[in-house]
Amino acid sequence: MIKLDSKGPVFFKQERVGKDGELFTIYKFRTMVENAENKGAGYRVKNKDPRITKIGNFLRKASLDELPQLINVLKGNMSLVGPRPTLAFQVKDYNEYQKQRLKVKPGITGLAQVNGRASLDWEERIEYDIRYIENRSFILDLKIIFKTFIVLFRNDNIYADKNPWDK
């Protein structure tokens, strides 16, 4: 369906920062036109962004675009639960407190995702990520995974009005 909707690859691949600052390639289903990060708003994605394809809009709303990250879990780059992986230019600006996010593998879902997703500002996301790292356990992971399904069905807070790296 992705190939029928627009030119370009089925998978979107991007370099992200993982545990201990290690770089890895994250996999997602492509939901935007090819090379979208070099067009328009760059890395910022807003609701009704014209770079989002028709199929991409559906995949994003259902969070199905994230499914290929299971490849990252199998490869050992990511976990099911943890802080979302960020881009290298974002990590470059981390202070010592924020660098704590790099103590664990990044996750497909996390405490910040089930407590507001993109509606949270950067400081709130960091607080949830650090809280997760300080309190992580099998039971907490199960609670987050369960709550993720609830959040997915509501499909709100997908887009941020302002991205944390905007100046």
| Closest by Cα among 34, 35, 29, 36 to 7 | 34
Residue ranges of the domains in the chain? Answer: 2-154
Which pLDDT belongs to residue 114? 93
Calculate mean pLDDT across residues 83-103: 94
Query: How does DSSP classify residue 51?
Result: T
What is d(CA 27, CA 55) in angstroms, rounded to the nearest whole number?
17
Calculate mean pLDDT across residues 130-141: 96
| Closest by Cα among 140, 29, 125, 137 to 84 | 125
Calculate mean pLDDT across residues 136-160: 82
Calculate mean pLDDT across residues 21-36: 90
Which pLDDT belongs to residue 75? 97
Query: Is 112:73 a contact under the CB 8 Å cutoff?
Result: no
Query: Is 68:78 a contact under the CB 8 Å cutoff?
Result: no
Which pLDDT belongs to residue 109? 95
pLDDT digits (tens, 9 = 90+) for 35-81: 777 676 566 676 677 888 899 889 988 889 999 999 999 999 999 99
Is pLDDT larger for residue 50 or for residue 107? Answer: 107
pTM: 0.81
